[in-house]
Chain A
């Protein structure tokens, strides 16, 4: 990023397919008065330019002209590097040195002046050539060893041999230590040493004297040499891209400037750090020069084509380059000193200077620059539509549309051999039942998640399915089987489809069905006498049991049948049909076992008499509450035990981690200290943890069994209450009793039950007005005393049994509800179900108060 761009005044593009690298560019005065630009490509083409840089009448520098190209010659071998120097003995002329892979050649440039400028004739002639035995990488030319009027050549080969030539003759060669790949190197005049950037990411200095001593008597054909150490070395933190040396004539000090992959480092020629700068970009190439007052200037080209000029570490200028150069140099031309010469890898050579020409960044035009009213209106319309849909989505939530998705739940009455493995399985109940859910969507749904749910001991597999972009009918099949030995609370199967429609509105569909009885029960010989008895009266003629239970018709007699759980859990239930009276009697030793048969019997009777409006089942004796309380006690005990064990585990875990921590810090210590028996403690804690875990597992199983028992008992009580008093609103009591017994972390079933019972006692079941006025029961408390809960439960059931109390209030409430809900909907479109229910409660209270006032007024 920069404000300005470079001012290019001379450029030439090579349209042949050439390839250039960092060392393909050399700028030198040769034997003339201003600089020549030499480039050599990887395919062997050498070109020498001399930009004329004449000023025309407007004081503008002349651009590239055809005769700026002095000579172009194909040398047939790839040119790796170009150099210049006094390379012919006995001559003060400067010659051109070309490095090929296998040879080092020296050429001279001669010019025969013609009558006019374009009549000049230039030639380059091969003066001599050193054949190289090893593939070369790079070279430097300099007056090594302090020689003034002749230049030496040092060629570095790919495998680390440094060969030195004194003009036409081979002097010596030596092998560099710690070598892997050739890096850039320079010659320091003041210390007469080579500074090499090695593969080990260090700058190492080898003095010429040492090298020549080592290389004495060496042959070019040697394959190894003596080992030697550098005079000094400086560690860098990265690979070296390029290295340059500047010698300040004034202060007689040398600057070694190293361009790394992320930093520019400047060393003195004795290996001391002068300064360094971290670059925020990745550099491509650089060049350095010294100003007359010993200021070191560094020109760095970044990967994003910026040219940055630093004086030491301070950024002096930055400008944008038109292309990405691979090599950069500085040249003094006629009329223009210090011009910047850049070469790209495809051979674009250009000369430029820094100017204040702004790098005009023009942002791309806007899509609709001129205000088009029609288009603006359209945009406005789409945006307001977006806003509208945001709100209307919420409204659509409440609009139930049952027709959008057809959901069918089919239960196959024929059982199959179970294929599921279960730990507690015995052969005789290894049956399973196939349940098929048929989905027939009438609109497009983006996502449908379908799940099938059954009550505990039963298990369904697979439990859920996911459909995306469903537009046509599909079905989902799953199997239900017994998973544990336990009482069965209910044989209902429920499927729930959770959908997101194509416009992003979520919806829920639900279907319920009943599983075949045979899946969970088997017939037994009838029993004569049992502890618990339930007698159901009907007001029609009794139906023979074989009609009611057709699936078992073969095995049972018409007036007595006995069912037992397929896993032999609980006790068998005998159903007796009194021949004379219209009565059914169910008897068993366990309340939980009674549940399923009672439910089924009632369900089947009601189904049989579905057309008979006057048909009624009644239950006259008292509810079997003592057994229920027993179950609650049992569940409570187990729950307490589980909690206790869990707390124990938490403590043990914390203890274990603490010991571990102590051990880690002990092990990490530099000076080892004794473990002070911590290892024993760790072992002990571990064993204790394992023991507790086993205990917990067992207790959890017990808890789960007591949960199903309790659940079964609750279902039975609910069923009985319902037929006993003909209460239509089973939901209220069902919600309060919560027959699906579940214990969450930090909230037991008892807590929930207590809270809801309390709530009922103070609202709908309130006995006196005083009760109603008491603060609503809203907080959950952990139940510690079961006696209180028991009392509440008894009270609720007692009051429910007094016919009519619930009915009246609830109906009233419902009516008021509807009106209020409608009003609510108008005012607040955004409302969660929670909010709705709370307003409902609120309105119920209001209506109660209103009624009370009315009564008062009447009085």
Chain B
């Protein structure tokens, strides 16, 4: 079988390691074969590719932050302030771990590139009469060195090549992570395409975001949308506005995107998350419901609606949503924790401890473990076992010593047991850990008025 055919087939079947191997052999035989070079580059990019739309970038404080917005925004126009809004009674009832994890990367591919299930190699037939397009010496790579030395490439030349430019960009951006070189290539390619290819504008925006030039990214994305509507472009524009902390602009983009792609799940999900971040839970739930009408298996939407019902004092309904997620095959500590809480508040007491037991068995992250112990303390309190509740809270604090709510509850229990001084010191700790939490302040005032 022709090795090029084999390499292509392996690439299609997502066996990137094997594909790289075959391409490397091809490149040894003919070091300037552009097709093999292209395929190897693609395979290496796909191996490390992450879906960067969902990658959540932390805001970086910069001395030259030109994108700074007003420090005291009007309510509802920024996401920085909403944390302090009294959204959900976090302290009074347990803390379900909200939503679902939003995976930032697609690195874990079951049964794909990482899987070494390879069949035996077939004997390679003689070299085909395939006409080989030859590249220049710049694509030569040492066997032990890196595959492509970006600094050696004549980016202007590659930018003009319609076939090689795009994968080369992805390789530089994802596989080598060199946003600056990628930006250079993108700038040259945009010029080579006479500013007519929207794809390059989106890539420019990607580079600008990576270099923290948010406003330039916005400009490029808007220009790309003028040429071609694409869901991903819209999503990136939404992310840009979120990064600028302008949720209202982001919502505006969502609305215009929905006019072009009505009922698109990705856009509705963005709207749902936006509503959640702004504290507008009813609209968030409305959007999540729209998501579910379009895609009934969307676990994020199900879980978020579940959380909404839980905080809306409808634990039975929340329980149904979580059971659906469980039936769909999710199996995680957070889910069992939430199930346990729902069971507790909907009086299905026989299942409470079983759920929490499972959650504890599955939890590996100490923060999650702390939350589970904290919730278990609620189960203990509602059954009147203060000793057990104390133990649970202590275990919670051992897992996460910064758990302010646990300190607060510990203080209340100690006060009940007649140790006001100890209670006071626990409350002080809680206030110190989380000054915005209202409960310890109120408790402390109550305690002071008593003593």
- A residues apposed to B, CB below 8 Å: 1-3, 17, 19, 21-22, 42-43, 78, 80, 101-102, 133-135, 137, 157-160, 178-182, 198-201, 223, 235-237, 239, 241, 262-263, 273, 275-278, 280, 282, 284, 303-304, 313-315, 318, 320, 324, 326, 345-346, 358-359, 361, 363, 366-367, 383-384, 386-387, 390, 657, 661, 664-665, 830
The interface bits of chain B over 159-196 (1 if a CB of A lies within 8 angstroms of the residue's CB, else 0) are: 00011101000000000000000000000000000000
Chain B, Cβ-Cβ closest to A314: B294
Q: Does A390 contact B199, Cβ atoms closer than 8 Å?
A: no
Whether B264 pairs with A277 at a CB distance below 8 angstroms is yes
Give the residue name and chain of the B residue nearest to A361 (CB): B329
Of the listed stretches B124-132, B239-247, B277-285, B342-350, name the one at the interface; the rest are far from the partner chain. Answer: B124-132
Q: Is there contact, CB below 8 Å, between A304 and B12?
A: no
Q: Assess whether A390 is in contact with B394, with CB atoms less than 8 Å apart.
A: yes
Spot the interface stretch: B2-10, B77-85, B144-152, B313-321: B2-10
The answer on a CB contact under 8 Å between A313 and B4 is no
Interface assignment of B1: CB less than 8 Å from any CB of chain A: yes
Whether the pair A282, B328 counts as a contact (CB closer than 8 A) is: no
Separation of A366 and B359 alpha carbons in the complex (Å): 10
B109 within 8 A of A: yes
Contacting pair A133 B129 (CB below 8 A): yes
Contact with A along B355-367 (1 / 0, CB 8 A): 0011001000000
Residues of B within 8 A of A (CB): 1-2, 4-6, 8-9, 12-14, 34-35, 38-39, 42, 51, 63-64, 66, 106, 109-112, 119-120, 122, 125, 128-133, 162-164, 166, 197-199, 202, 228-232, 235, 261, 263-266, 294-297, 299, 324, 326-331, 354, 357-358, 361, 391, 394-395, 397-398, 425
Is there an interface contact between B229 and A273, defined as CB atoms closer than 8 Å?
A: yes
Q: How far is the CA of A830 from the CA of B421 in the complex (A)?
A: 12
Residues of A near B12 (CB, < 8 A) are 21-22, 241
Q: How far is the CA of A361 from the CA of B425 in the complex (A)?
A: 47
In the complex, the answer to whether A313 meets B361 with C-beta atoms within 8 Å is no
Question: Is B294 in contact with A201, judged by CB distance below 8 angstroms?
Answer: no
Residue contact B131 to A1, C-beta cutoff 8 Å: no
Are B162 and A386 in contact, with the CB atoms below 8 A?
no
Q: Is B106 in contact with A282, judged by CB distance below 8 angstroms?
A: yes
Chain A residue, CB-CB nearest to B229: A273
Q: How far is the CB of A194 from chain B (nearest CB, A)?
A: 18
**Chain B contacts for A133, CB-based, 8 A:** 129
Counting from the closest, the 10 A-B pairs by CB-CB distance are A135-B128, A1-B328, A180-B163, A159-B131, A199-B163, A200-B162, A315-B295, A361-B329, A78-B1, A159-B130
> Which residue of the partner chain B has the closest CB to A21?
B9
- 17 A-B residue pairs with Cβ-Cβ distance under 8 Å, sorted by A, are A134-B131, A137-B8, A178-B163, A180-B38, A200-B163, A235-B197, A237-B199, A237-B232, A241-B12, A278-B266, A303-B14, A314-B263, A318-B296, A363-B331, A366-B357, A384-B391, A661-B64
Pick from B111, B330, B358: contact of A303, CB under 8 Å: B111
CB closest residue in chain B, given A318: B297
Give CA–CA (A387, B399) in the complex, Å.
11
Contact A135 B130, beta carbon cutoff 8 Å? yes
Central interface residue in B131, B162, B164, B361, by most chain A CB within 10 Å: B131
**A284 to B14 Cα, complex, angstroms:** 8
Knowing A1-B330, A200-B163, A303-B112, the reply to whether A345 touches B13 (Cβ < 8 A) is yes
**Which of B63, B128, B297 lies in contact with A315, CB distance below 8 A?**
B297
Residues of B within 8 A of A21 (CB): 9, 12-13
The number of residue pairs between A and B whose CB atoms lie closer than 8 Å in the complex comes to: 175
The reply to whether B398 and A303 form a contact with Cβ atoms under 8 Å apart is no
Nearest chain B CB to A179 CB, angstrom units = 8
Contact in complex: B202, A237 (CB < 8 Å): yes
Instruction: Determine the residue in chain B with the shortest Cβ distance to A135.
Output: B128
Task: Decide yes or no: A178 and B35 within 8 Å by CB, A158-B2, A326-B13 being known contacts.
Answer: no
- Assuming the contacts A361-B329, A390-B398, asked whether A181 and B35 have C-beta atoms less than 8 A apart, the reply is yes
Bound state CA distance, A181 and B278, in angstroms? 48
Chain A residues within an 8 Å CB radius of B231:
263, 276-278
* CB atoms of A178 and B162 under 8 A apart: yes
Asked whether A367 lies within 8 Å of B361 as measured between CB atoms, the reply is yes
Interface centre among A17, A133, A137, A664 (most CB of B within 10 A): A137
State the CA gap A135–B6 with chains docked (Å): 12
Which single member of A3, A137, A273, A664 contacts B5 (CB below 8 Å)? A137
Besides A21-B13, A280-B266, 20 more A-B contacts (Cβ < 8 Å) are A2-B328, A19-B119, A21-B9, A133-B129, A158-B5, A159-B132, A179-B163, A263-B231, A263-B232, A275-B261, A278-B235, A282-B14, A284-B14, A303-B110, A313-B263, A314-B263, A314-B295, A315-B295, A386-B395, A390-B394
Chain B residue with the shortest CB-CB distance to A80 = B5
Q: Which residues of A contact B197 (CB under 8 A)?
A: 235
Residue in contact with B8 in the complex, picked from A2, A181, A313, CB distance below 8 Å: A181
List A contacts of B131 (CB < 8 A): 134, 159-160, 223
Of the candidates A1, A201, A387, A664, which one forms a contact with B394 in the assembled complex, judged by CB atoms under 8 Å apart? A387
The reply to whether A101 and B331 contact each other, CB–CB distance below 8 Å, is no
Q: How far is the CA of A88 from the CA of B130 in the complex (A)?
A: 29
Report how far A459 CA is from B120 CA in the complex, Å: 68
The reply to whether B297 and A42 contact each other, CB–CB distance below 8 Å, is no
B120→A17 contact, CB < 8 A: yes
Chain A residues within an 8 Å CB radius of B328: 1-3, 361
CB neighbours (8 Å) of A17 from chain B are 119-120
Least Cβ–Cβ distance between A685 and chain B, in angstroms: 17
Do B199 and A201 touch (CB < 8 A)? yes
B266: which A residues are within 8 A, CB to CB? Answer: 278, 280
A387 touches B164 (CB 8 A): no
Question: Across the two chains, which residue of chain A brings its CB closest to B128?
Answer: A135
The answer to whether B130 touches A158 (Cβ under 8 A) is yes
> How many angstroms between the C-alpha atoms of A383 and B391 in the bound complex?
9
Interface centre among A80, A181, A314, A315 (most CB of B within 10 A): A181
In angstroms, how far is the closest chain B Cβ from the Cβ of A637?
Answer: 35
When distances are taken between beta carbons in the complex, the residues of chain A under 8 Å from B34 are 180
Which residues on the B side are within 8 Å of A304 (C-beta)? 110
CA distance A275 to B133 in the complex (A): 36
Residues in A neighbouring B329, C-beta threshold 8 A = 1-2, 320, 359, 361
Task: Return the chain A residue nearest B394 by Cβ.
Answer: A387
Considering the complex, give the chain B residue whose CB is closest to the CB of A202. Answer: B162
Q: Are B297 and A2 interface neighbours, CB within 8 A? A: yes
**Alpha-carbon gap, A138 to B192, bound state (A):** 32
- The answer for the CA separation of A41 and B222 in the assembled complex, in Å, is 48
The interface residues of chain A lying within 8 Å CB-to-CB of B63 are 657
Known A-B contacts A22-B12, A78-B1, A137-B5; A386 and B398 likewise in contact (beta carbons under 8 Å): yes
A101 touching B125 by the CB < 8 A rule? yes
With a cutoff of 8 Å between Cβ atoms, the chain B residues found around residue A390 in the complex are: 394, 397-398
Q: How far is A223 from B132 in the complex, measured between Cα atoms in Å?
A: 11
Partner of B395 from the list A200, A345, A387, A657 (CB cut-off 8 Å) is: A387
Q: Smallest distance from the beta carbon of B29 to chain A beta carbons, Å? A: 15
Nearest-CB distance from B338 to chain A (Å)?
15
Residues of B within 8 A of A235 (CB): 197-199, 228
Select B1's contact among A42, A182, A830, beta carbons within 8 Å: A42
- For A284, list chain B residues within 8 Å (CB): 14
A318 to B5, CA, bound (A): 33
CB-CB under 8 A from A313, the residues of chain B are 261, 263-265, 294
Q: Which residues of A lie under 8 Å from residue B230 when comparing CB positions? A: 237, 276
User: Which partner residue on chain A sits nearest B397 by CB separation?
Assistant: A390
Q: What are the residues of chain A within 8 A of B326 when measuring CB–CB?
A: 361
A345 to B6, CA, bound (A): 13
- Contact between B133 and A180, CB atoms less than 8 A apart: yes
